[in-house]
Homo-oligomer: A and B are copies of this chain.
Amino acid sequence: MNVTDAFGVVLKKYRKLANLSQEQLALQCNLDRTYIGMLERGQRQPTITTLFTIADTLSIEPNKLVKEIEALL
């Protein structure tokens, strides 16, 4: 599995845990609804600041998200 796909999997998992729709998450992150969807489907990869923004919104430390990605590779 590649980094982009792994990020999508982890993102979806934590969004669901936070009980948010893609749209709700997008609003809280100041990102676009369709972009969140593309991230989850592995069709886009985030920059590092986007990673931090999303992690922040999901109340999880960025390094923990990254660690989970590493575990999927």
Contacts and interface: CB of A to CB of B under 8 A. Distances in A.
Interface in A32-47: 45-47
Given A4-B48, A7-B48, A48-B47, A70 B61 contact: yes
Nearest to A52: B3
The number of times this chain is found in the oligomer is 2
A13 to B, nearest CB: 16
Interface string A1-19: 0111001000000000000
Most B C-beta atoms less than 10 A away, residue of A2, A47, A48, A63: A48
Contacts of A29: none
Interface of A: 2-4, 7, 45-49, 51-52, 61-64, 66-67, 69-70
